Structure 1
Amino acid sequence: MSDIIAKLRDTSFDDLHPNERLKVESDYLRGKLMEDMADRATGAISEDATQLTKFHGFYQQDDRDLRSERRHQKLEPLYSFMVRLRLPGGLVTPEQWLTLDDVARRYANGTLRITTRQTFQYHGVFKENLRSHLQAVNQAMIDTIAACGDVNRNVICTANPYRSRAHREVYDLAHAISTRLLPRTRAYHEIFLGEERVAGGEEEQEPLYTRHYLPRKFKVAIAIPPENDVDLFAHDLGFIAHVEAGEIQGYNVCIGGGMGMTHGEPSTFPRLSDVIGFCRPDQVLDVAEAVLKVQRDNGDRHDRKHARLKYTVENYGVDWFRTKVERHLGSALKAARDFHFDGNGDRYGWYQGEDGAWHYGLFVQNGRLADTKGGMQLLSGMREITKVHAGDIVLTTNQNLIITNVSADKRHEIEALLDRYCMTRNISPLRKASMACVAFPTCGLAMAESERYLPSLIDKLEDVMHEVGLEQDAINVRMTGCPNGCARPYLAEIGFVGKALGRYNLYLGGNPSGERLNRLYKENIDEPTIMNELTTLLQRYAEERNPGEPFGDFVIRAGVIAETTAGRHFHDAPA
């Protein structure tokens, strides 16, 4: 047990954030969840229970579109839960897919949504359906443990383990890290799966996390250059594979990334991670645990807005953090190896892996698998594809999916189903490079629309792109309904962050490889202003860009926006 965690036992909770007392007194995340779930007088659960359910992978929400109407009718809000799966590396079998599809229609709102953490989440799961939902998922050998909360979240990696031996290795590593950093409490199994509680051994329930768990969430990503599809530098901990002759020789270790901030509070900011050294493949699990322990023992437990690892690194310095990690390891990290990233997007259409098998990258707009009237029938189409497909399905961190291991004689059958269900028609490079968070109507933090609005804004931007001759350009566009950064908008060449209904902050200057933060260009603007500003900039870009110059690089070179050199300078006034 660390000295710092030991001291927490003697610290007055009055000096800490209220969640710290809640975690310690929760009986290892049990609290009164059993009683709250049994209460059918309300569709909601208590505030304390709401905080604890996050550790078990779901959030309480309500339909914000119906709030006023239900208030007028003297009804409580229409409460439901968002349920997120723990799915390291994002792979599901066809059999699992069909189960998850069935669960969506029986217990949720009839859609599946791919998240930016390479997993699925469900919306509209009512309290009376929650246990049945979790138990059905469990029958498919999947759970939701630690998909949210102050613990290590779903571990992500460069998509598709079937592309090469290196890809399979990082997929297996994602699973190994997830297992190593998984909470040990049996609360989830007892409360939601019906497991009997075994008396004794309470002190050993959380040997890694202790009763205190982490100050805030912890996110891990693994990338194989030259692809940075996971946006590696946006995470608390990252591993960059060093591959020689097809074999992974080790990993560069990165610490201190994170996207969230708070409007009007310059002490909060997005940050890119720093490379602190190199480790062998057999050291990765120990390094991951060591980094988590340093954050566990030193992260801010007073102010949750400053509790992420990125602020620990900012407060103490990169060298200090590395020294603490090496002390846990008992040895020094080696010098970092050279690496190069050339993009953070996904592959689309057919391509072959190292062994000659075929894979199909499918664009899923904002990750929402649903059937639209007169349009794409993504949910039905994937249901039929998985019924005949012998390979697996892999989710990506850009909210898309890959149909893997398609034999040459099956390609025609898959293509026919893609065509029958209108799953690939008329998708521009701009739209394929776009991404949005959920926002309204379910996210309680949303200030503006995102998933429901971005497609129509892309329609208008596509018209501008066509007019100025940029219709084949894939400018990276991302939108979130609040500043928490779920769709990683601060890495986008064009980023939108909601301020109020119909109004956004416009950020410019990220790069296509995910290695540079953007910067605020215009604040609190509406759609006409957005279109005026971007039309002018896109016209300039078409006329003045250098050959092969990305839009994010152009706006910096042309003096439109100053480059952000570090997260702490994110809010600096324009140069």
Structure 2
Amino acid sequence: MTDKNNLSPVERIKTGSNGLRGTLKESLLDDFTGAIREDDQTLIKFHGMYQQDDRDRREERVAKKLEWLYSYMIRLRLPGGFLTSEQWASLHEIAENHSTGVIKITTRQTIQLHGILKSHVRPTIQNFNLQHLDSIAACGDVNRNVTCTSNPSESPLHQVVYELAGKISEMCLPKTKSYYDLWIDDELLIDRKTEEDPLYQDRYLPRKLKIGIAIPPNNDVDVFINDIALIAIVEDDRIVGYNIAAGGGLGATHGNEATYARLASLLGFVDTEEKLLKAVYEIITVQRDFGNRSDRKLSRLKYTIDQLGIEGYRNEVEKRCGFALEPAREFKFEQRKDRYGWTRNHEGKWFYTLFVEHGRVLDIEEYPLKSGLLKIAETGNVNFRFTCNQNLILSDIREEDKAEVENLLKEHGISGYTEKASALRKNSVACVALNTCSLALAEGQRYLPVLVTKIEPILEKYGLQDENITIRMTGCPNGCGRSPNAEIGFVGTAYEKYNLHIGGDRLGMRLNTKFKENIGEEEILETLDKLFGIYLQRRYSEETFGDFSYRYLQTQK
């Protein structure tokens, strides 16, 4: 437990925030700046927002003696990643009226809107509220968006874990009503008795906490990168319980060896949903009480587990639960990529998984994706599901409605784009990075598509173009694009410079290793050309690039 005399400044902000209200109301009324007060920049995260600025325009603004062009990113809370067609159509309109217009699908199965000016923040949230959508706890030192498999072939088990994701999300919501009186009602709805929060108290968590649920054999959620990883155990086509793992997290800090990426460790198994919810709750309370509150770089649950030891953490959880966890059950993952194209579920309903490069839903001249999706939503015959690989599933389509959806997909080039995209491109993930992320050291989603275009002919040269190699890029070492567990991972170090990591496995069960440091595009392409050539010559039968790279790295020591 952290010494109360050695708390980080963020801890003071949280405990003195009057239920996460702070001076946000006053900040929003201040028309002299596009920013909000410094302490409020911490508190607004708990409401699902970040203050950002357009980094491409900083020099221009400074030259004109103007403050930075501040704006806000709002992230929805969508456990399991689901919207109705009506909600998608409304989201389209909200994005057009209040943001840059780009709808961003995240690696945590939800939606972000960027470029929202301060005067548009409340109207944006109020419009979301009309569609029964909110951004509560989508950011901040709380449980974040709960992810679960979106693979339609897993139905009806998918529905079970989707509902479980919703229950966990509701269980972990902060009890404060500040979201509603700040953004919806414009009235102080404070009642300290109803705001008492046994889970978060007034301290909340030391850092963010992420939960994911997977159904083997598909690890499409990258379950082991979560603070709490839940793996459904299926017997005779039904879920008989869940393995529970804890301590995942991919963030690190350049030059700080005390920080590192880590995959979750198995704690045990529970055979009922009631026990699962209790175990998840108490894993969180142990982190609340034992997590590091003095150094935020060491505050994630993974560091708490490594401090207490996996046995020590399990023992504390079991003591609080009042029951012992059973030994973890056997399971096997066989893939983690999305299944593109048409799929039919057990009810005879159709699903179409379309490729959305880095989750960016927008219109460009040759590819009107956003307009096409609006037309599809306006039919009222589909639902929208998001994947942790930043893609979109048009779901629950009846047989009699399939032809209409299919025609709209073709008319707007959506199905054609999905079919033509290379295997490498379909297995790529990137974070937002520049121009809005304040932590970015290099490009992410704006550059990886360009780099992939230059890597594709190298793969073709070796006949490797159909290999489903996972390639991921983050603009800094915080890991939002999940590059540490890709077969090829890029971590930004400076503008146009990256660390190149290789050797992660294709299933998300092994982290990669840094191979080259602080290199630019020319050296990246030269290095990959050499590696692909060696891979073609020396690989075992059916050996993935990640497994080969891991083996190759052992020979280089």
* TM-score normalised by length of structure 2: 0.97
**Aligned alpha-carbon RMSD (Å):** 1.4
Alignment of 1:303-342 (within 5 A): 303-342=295-334
Number of equivalenced pairs: 553
Aligned partner of 1:490 among 473, 477, 484 = 484
Aligned twin of 2:204: 213
User: Residue type matched to 1:500 in 2?
Assistant: A
- Structure 1 CA distance for aligned equivalents of residues 100 and 527 of structure 2: 37
Alignment of 1:440-459 (within 5 A): 440-459=434-453
Alignment of 1:94-105 (within 5 A): 94-105=85-96
Return the offset for 1:355: 2.1
On the 8 A contact 2:49/2:73 being kept in 1, the answer is yes
- Structure 1 CA distance for aligned equivalents of residues 216 and 153 of structure 2: 16
Aligned twin of 2:409: 418
- Structure 1 CA distance for aligned equivalents of residues 510 and 49 of structure 2: 32
Aligned partner of 1:293 among 267, 285, 292 = 285
On the 8 A contact 2:178/2:189 being kept in 1, the answer is no
On the 8 A contact 2:34/2:70 being kept in 1, the answer is yes
Aligned twin of 1:514: 508
User: Residue type matched to 1:556 in 2?
Assistant: Y
Aligned twin of 1:276: 267
- Please, which runs of 5 or more residues in structure 2 have no aligned partner? none
User: Residue type matched to 2:7 in 1?
Assistant: L
3-state SS in 2 of match to 1:154: coil
- Structure 1 CA distance for aligned equivalents of residues 546 and 190 of structure 2: 58
> For residues 251 and 370 of structure 1, do their structure 2 counterparts lie closer, same or farther at Cα, with a shift above 3 Å needed?
same
User: Residue type matched to 2:35 in 1?
Assistant: A
Residue 40 in 1 paired to residue 31 in 2?
yes
On the 8 A contact 1:504/1:524 being kept in 2, the answer is yes
On the 8 A contact 2:249/2:262 being kept in 1, the answer is yes
- Structure 1 CA distance for aligned equivalents of residues 173 and 435 of structure 2: 31
On the 8 A contact 2:176/2:195 being kept in 1, the answer is no
Alignment of 1:336-355 (within 5 A): 336-355=328-347
Worse-superposed segment, 397-406 or 385-394: 385-394
On the 8 A contact 1:478/1:487 being kept in 2, the answer is yes
Aligned twin of 2:377: 386
3-state SS in 2 of match to 1:36: helix
Aligned twin of 1:467: 461
- Structure 2 CA distance for aligned equivalents of residues 431 and 336 of structure 1: 35
Return the offset for 1:204: 4.4
- Structure 1 CA distance for aligned equivalents of residues 276 and 351 of structure 2: 29
> For residues 202 and 417 of structure 1, do their structure 2 counterparts lie closer, same or farther at Cα, with a shift above 3 Å needed?
same
User: Residue type matched to 2:506 in 1?
Assistant: P
3-state SS in 1 of match to 2:109: coil
Percentage of identical aligned residues: 47
Aligned twin of 1:363: 355
Aligned twin of 1:427: 421
Partner deviation per Cα, 1:117-139 (whole Å, 9 max, x = no partner):
10000000000000000000011
- Structure 2 CA distance for aligned equivalents of residues 137 and 105 of structure 1: 13
- Structure 2 CA distance for aligned equivalents of residues 549 and 504 of structure 1: 27
> For residues 356 and 258 of structure 1, do their structure 2 counterparts lie closer, same or farther at Cα, with a shift above 3 Å needed?
same
- Structure 1 CA distance for aligned equivalents of residues 151 and 426 of structure 2: 18
- Structure 2 CA distance for aligned equivalents of residues 202 and 302 of structure 1: 29
Partner deviation per Cα, 1:416-450 (whole Å, 9 max, x = no partner):
21121112322011100001000111010010011
Return the offset for 1:354: 2.1
Aligned partner of 1:372 among 338, 358, 364 = 364
Partner deviation per Cα, 1:504-560 (whole Å, 9 max, x = no partner):
000000011000000000000000000000001111212222221100001122x2x
- Structure 2 CA distance for aligned equivalents of residues 301 and 25 of structure 1: 15
User: Residue type matched to 1:67 in 2?
Assistant: R
- Structure 2 CA distance for aligned equivalents of residues 279 and 523 of structure 1: 43
User: Residue type matched to 2:281 in 1?
Assistant: E
Partner deviation per Cα, 1:485-520 (whole Å, 9 max, x = no partner):
001100000000000111000000001100000000
Return the offset for 1:163: 4.5
Partner deviation per Cα, 1:166-193 (whole Å, 9 max, x = no partner):
1100000000000001101001100111
3-state SS in 2 of match to 1:89: coil
- Structure 1 CA distance for aligned equivalents of residues 247 and 205 of structure 2: 15
- Structure 1 CA distance for aligned equivalents of residues 516 and 115 of structure 2: 35
3-state SS in 1 of match to 2:234: strand
Return the offset for 1:213: 0.5
Alignment of 1:32-111 (within 5 A): 32-111=23-102
> For residues 519 and 199 of structure 1, do their structure 2 counterparts lie closer, same or farther at Cα, with a shift above 3 Å needed?
closer
Residue 241 in 1 paired to residue 232 in 2?
yes
Worse-superposed segment, 411-420 or 527-536: 411-420
On the 8 A contact 2:101/2:362 being kept in 1, the answer is yes
Aligned partner of 2:108 among 106, 109, 117 = 117
Partner deviation per Cα, 1:283-336 (whole Å, 9 max, x = no partner):
111111000000000000010000000000111100000001101110101111
Return the offset for 1:197: 2.7
Aligned twin of 1:553: 547
* TM-score normalised by length of structure 1: 0.94
User: Residue type matched to 1:126 in 2?
Assistant: L
Aligned twin of 1:166: 157
Return the offset for 1:412: 2.2
Aligned twin of 1:177: 168
3-state SS in 1 of match to 2:343: strand
On the 8 A contact 1:509/1:553 being kept in 2, the answer is yes
> For residues 82 and 198 of structure 1, do their structure 2 counterparts lie closer, same or farther at Cα, with a shift above 3 Å needed?
closer
Return the offset for 1:156: 0.3
